[in-house]
Structure 1
């Protein structure tokens, strides 16, 4: 039996446990199928019947263009540069028919959930960030669906996510891939080229445009890029073209036409998005052709979900049935007073119906009482003759707005239903796996006791389900066959592990000896405990930046003084390479300095230094003559790729997408892998060298130095801990993986994911390949650290195959790596369950939970490859 096989089985249980936990924590919201109709408009207010002749839901806007500019953050329009970057839009805001609103997007700030929020008025589930690559069809009521159902013709051009969400919603359309971020020119030209023909066409009512170029520039170079201002001026010119033609159409037909310009999400200073920082969640909504309250530059705060009900009313459509948004009163000022109040009543009554069903003490809530007062004042106003300048009208208008805002805010946070049964079972399973990994001895196989206990647990769960007291994915009695299989597997594992732990009544753990091993154990426990606080989760890098230099100091008596001093000096430089975290991520770092105009030579020098160090490390890890030549070709290909795509300044090198250079690199890497395929356990160095080369290709140029630095840090850790059991070198390498993970600029926010890494050398969008490249780039440091651990064990035991002594060390190292991964996972799952109603559960705890899940899956794959690739004597 391979020494890692037992550990691999426990890690597989951990993967199953975290998947079950995610199903319970991020349940997929199943639409109830309700579709709103015009009959939902109220026919009376209190005891007062609304006049039959009143056109309560007549169409206000004859033509509407919804122009979504991906990653258009608030300060791009409202900031100091707005007047120069978007001069036409800025000039129109000085008129009475244009308006600027500040909208807040709910996290996660990625495209697909934001489109659903804009069109349905609902708050998409957090799990939609995982589904963002797939974009399944919207199954709930929406603005697009209502428009089609009521005979409005909708046309669309832009991000093909819309076509996946609404495959039958558009009379004419053309989509562009939203994921190929290397292109920020053609992706917008393909939208604009349709405008002239469509603006002259007489047959459409609603046009949706979704421009992607600004978002792609942000991913590639950030919001400070010199490419941003020209792109904003391009969007300004498009808005001018649309507004001018719509104004001509309105004058010729004597009907109202309007343009609504908005961002689906913002953009962090690093250029990415997905988190909850102000730069990511605050976006502008500019309306051209609609009325505006007070000054047209008033930044009236609204929710992004408010756009769906407001546009529905303006187009004479029912508000989508699942909408939680409130009407924006300022955009209804052009309506007669009676219609304004009628529309606000319609919106508030729909929210009140949902509010009554989800809030137990609804009758005493401020929002509900404001709604009842508004209805009473509305009926009194109608009975008094309906004067627009009366106090009753103003009070009713204000109370409707307050009621809708209060109830909308409560509903947005109360509709999340956690699967508490699944959370409890998954947390218990993860805790059991963690305890079993902490045991030094073998884990006994399941017997009759385990089978009997699992059968009792499953029977008890079935009884609870039958009694209606358990509504969970584990409810085997009422679910499908897959659900029954999941429940059976969960309870069987739970029972087996329970009996195993009872048999293993005593911990057989060897206490660490020496300052460095003791600190490794204490530091791991300290880091795990720190995950209970949101601030420590947001700034987790600070924990590792404290633990690592302390470990270097404690281990310095066992290592050369020069090496320890070099490690500490390197740590200080590398931590300044990329600012990360939440509170100080906007502060300047070495990357920002290297990106300034005129610093191209310094960036080139850093990149070349990193590649030369990488070449030396590859020759150290793969010392044979044939691999040295291939390593040189691979490193040269990395250099040529970055020169081709323009990341480094080489005037004589032709610009391209770097497809040829990337293919040469992958060819050289495949040849390197083939040369080490039959080296057995000695191939660990080959794997480490190949992964180091791949990491350098995916890294930005300034991050290339991280790869040789990790190899040197690993060598220092091996040298300092070679006298101790292998478990402590393993834990040290887990620390190194986390340390360099944050050196790279990663964080526990989705905004730190470098999307551009998923398109290195690609010409087209391939979702699985892009996903694999993104995961490889994000977790490149933990994977390389693990492979360097294996390479160090090779050199330590001087064996071409697993001897008895080497096999024991191998198994101990795998177990330590698995334990160091499952321990924070199990504790964090329990902490997240406990704090599931915390204020920051969606902005802090949830992203970290997904990162932990993916990290665990990556570790499981590494352990599986270890067991499969290296043979035992």
Structure 2
């Protein structure tokens, strides 16, 4: 046997091994990303022109439609008729913008504005590589660059932008993505600004972020009957923007000789899978739609585009939007950008001077970023003409030769020379982009494997010490850890409901919790004799059988066989009713068994009355919450609901309440239930102590009963406040 001192030493050693394993795993799983601090300036990026090129556009309308999959925008069944009419005429340019995982909103906004590739660490911490806040204040982005050019920027939509870019917008109106059931007002609050703010001349850039389409996906998937009408609604909003901008541009060009025009960018931050969720790396989740539109494009050569299928349009990286906007608006490309200019926006041989200058700026910016990883390339960047024939680094020579040919074209104006320079620029940009992107997402398998091995050794050591300690103990509460885990898991689950990404993939949280709790029960049951639990079957066997059933259910869900339920009208509501009824029965059974436990209240009639009253209150809360949850879920569905369930929707308590008020009411009763559970636990334990001290402490009984009555009175007040809140919400709704 180990002595206490030896156990402490071994525990410290095992803890150190575990910390080392975690550190090595994290170093391998979260690779080092090249990062340049500060903001880019016009002098940072190499140019062969004394003065910067004039911008192609002087105003920007940037429209983000959350979860806009490419086939929603440019597919055969798309509801964007106005947008597709411009694409077919050649006056708009459509692409499939490839997004990288994690395909959730915040990392995607970061990619759309900085040109970087977010990692899963960004999704977990909601921070960037070297920043300590949830904003992008210290990260170079095109919003800052526009602001730095004294541009006035307005924003309307998802308030995530307002948190990421504080003090950047002159006018804002944020919407929240928390209420997924809201598919209408969340977009109308954005669209209303088109005819009130877009028509004014007090802006240079307007950003709009719509959430309704994403909410519809979460509620009913991409095949929801609400999906096509929502696409048409978005198309009409874009048409209204286009008409306003076209009229403004025509007037500005007549009155101002230096007016350029307005660029409209319509894009999705990510797509969605066939269940309407996102966050992973499936094709549907990573394929976002992207369209560039402008009244200026209508004055160019019109070409017929017979392609109407989403897969037939060119696929680009979503981060390519950043350098493209920088070159079109003539502001510096953000320092940490990994994208490349979309040359398809330029007509063939339209203006090689502008095209070459754009790709040169792009190559110079990527070269500066690459030099932090490969210092030997610095000589090609600083003195390119002196190293045009230096073949030490092939990609470095490509950059130097491209600049030499670029300068030659500016003198000779030969298209063949420009094409050679363009090809070399593209070669260097492709190398730099792929190398930097791979470095940012290159997992070190060796470090990860060593880390996992060390953590496994530490876990085995702790298990061994635990077994030795249990052999020395006379009594161990085998269920204590399961209780603590259950309470902690419930608290973590409740906290996760305030994060949209966890709400979207809530089923995986339940899979983990259910399997873990069942496994803990199975392990604990090995220490409980079968005779003590009154079962003829081995409890551990029952637990493992339940684990098998859970695994079958997960496989059934992943194979989409669960969608068969939707083919039977009303079946999903019957299943939900059965599940909620089972919850009520389970709660009733548990509350009933409390009176038959050894710790049951049998001290005196007063304590028994308090105990029974609390149990009855808890049962009423369980029933009420179950009914309210069913009404809440049935309201947001277009499925067939039988008359039996329709009666619940007409219940006077819930009929005047909207979804937000009903959701708050459910949470309120849930909190009340926690207080009642606390009161029940307190009264039960205190009653047991009073029973043990009945003969020695007669006065203590009266005090404990008084405390129990006081706690029950507090819970009664809480329930009464809930009822008053219900009446208040009902009256408020009727008055409005």
Bucket of the pairwise TM-score, normalised by the shorter protein? 0.5 to 0.7
2:119 to 110, 114, 125: 125
2:405 to 361, 372, 377: 377
Please say if 1:593 is aligned against 2:564.
yes
In 2 relative to 1, CA 661–565 (structure 1 residues): closer, same or farther, beyond 3 Å? Answer: closer
- Following superposition, the deviation at residue 27 of structure 1 comes to 7.5
Show CA shifts across 1:779-802 (max 9, x none). Answer: xxxxxxxxxxxxxxxxxxxxxxxx
Show CA shifts across 1:672-725 (max 9, x none). Answer: 342134545999xxxxxxxxxxxxxxxxxxxxxxxxxxxxxxxxxxxxxxxxxx
Contact 1:348 1:404 in 2 (8 A): yes
CA distance in 1, matches of 2:542, 2:112: 56
Q: Which residue of 2 aligns with 1:859?
A: none
Show CA shifts across 1:26-56 (max 9, x none). Answer: 4797954332112234343xxxxx4x4xx64
CA distance in 2, matches of 1:162, 1:8: 47
Q: Which residue of 2 aligns with 1:274?
A: 279
Q: Which residue of 2 aligns with 1:436?
A: 462
Contact 2:31 2:440 in 1 (8 A): no
- Following superposition, the deviation at residue 286 of structure 1 comes to 0.6
Report which stretch shifted further, 178-187 or 161-170: 178-187
Contact 1:31 1:139 in 2 (8 A): no
2:358 to 334, 343, 352: 343
Contact 1:121 1:322 in 2 (8 A): yes
Contact 1:374 1:397 in 2 (8 A): yes
Show CA shifts across 1:518-547 (max 9, x none). Answer: xxxxxxxxxxxxxxxxxxx9xx99xx9xx9
In 2 relative to 1, CA 367–80 (structure 1 residues): closer, same or farther, beyond 3 Å? Answer: farther
Contact 2:17 2:458 in 1 (8 A): no
Contact 2:67 2:272 in 1 (8 A): yes
Q: Which residue of 1 aligns with 2:343?
A: 329
Contact 2:40 2:332 in 1 (8 A): yes
Please say if 1:642 is aligned against 2:630.
yes
Q: Which residue of 2 aligns with 1:386?
A: 413
CA distance in 2, matches of 1:18, 1:569: 31
Show CA shifts across 1:752-786 (max 9, x none). Answer: xxxxxxxxxx99xxxxxxxxxxxxxxxxxxxxxxx
CA distance in 1, matches of 2:550, 2:146: 58
Q: Which residue of 2 aligns with 1:502?
A: none
CA distance in 2, matches of 1:680, 1:20: 44
In 2 relative to 1, CA 263–22 (structure 1 residues): closer, same or farther, beyond 3 Å? Answer: farther
Please show how residues 575-654 of structure 1 align to structure 2 within 5 Å.
575=554, 578-579=557-558, 587-590=559-562, 592-596=563-567, 599-623=568-592, 624=594, 626=612, 627=615, 630-631=618-619, 633-645=621-633, 646=635, 649=641, 650-652=645-647, 653-654=649-650
Contact 2:216 2:227 in 1 (8 A): yes
- Following superposition, the deviation at residue 632 of structure 1 comes to 5.5
Q: Which residue of 1 aligns with 2:424?
A: 399
Unaligned runs of 5+ in 2: 1-6, 128-132, 254-259, 378-390, 471-507, 523-529, 596-611, 689-724, 727-736
CA distance in 2, matches of 1:190, 1:108: 28
Contact 1:263 1:284 in 2 (8 A): yes
Contact 2:36 2:335 in 1 (8 A): no
In 2 relative to 1, CA 281–681 (structure 1 residues): closer, same or farther, beyond 3 Å? Answer: farther
In 2 relative to 1, CA 35–70 (structure 1 residues): closer, same or farther, beyond 3 Å? Answer: same
Q: Which residue of 1 aligns with 2:46?
A: 42
Q: Which residue of 2 aligns with 1:89?
A: 83
In 2 relative to 1, CA 351–203 (structure 1 residues): closer, same or farther, beyond 3 Å? Answer: same
- Following superposition, the deviation at residue 375 of structure 1 comes to 2.9
In 2 relative to 1, CA 358–59 (structure 1 residues): closer, same or farther, beyond 3 Å? Answer: same
Show CA shifts across 1:447-489 (max 9, x none). Answer: xxxxxxxxxxxxxxxxxxxxxxxxxxxxxxxxxxxxxxxxxxx
- Following superposition, the deviation at residue 440 of structure 1 comes to 4.9
- Following superposition, the deviation at residue 235 of structure 1 comes to 0.8
Aligned residues: 556
Report which stretch shifted further, 251-260 or 328-337: 328-337
Please say if 1:412 is aligned against 2:427.
no
1:72 to 68, 71, 77: 68
Q: Which residue of 2 aligns with 1:256?
A: 261
- Following superposition, the deviation at residue 253 of structure 1 comes to 2.2
Contact 1:638 1:665 in 2 (8 A): no
Contact 1:341 1:378 in 2 (8 A): yes
- Following superposition, the deviation at residue 439 of structure 1 comes to 3.7
- Taking structure 2 as the reference length, the TM-score comes to 0.66
- Following superposition, the deviation at residue 559 of structure 1 comes to 6.3
Q: Which residue of 2 aligns with 1:208?
A: 207
In 2 relative to 1, CA 346–662 (structure 1 residues): closer, same or farther, beyond 3 Å? Answer: closer
CA distance in 1, matches of 2:460, 2:687: 31
- Following superposition, the deviation at residue 146 of structure 1 comes to 0.7
Please show how residues 635-784 of structure 1 align to structure 2 within 5 Å.
635-645=623-633, 646=635, 649=641, 650-652=645-647, 653-654=649-650, 656-657=658-659, 658-659=662-663, 660-679=665-684
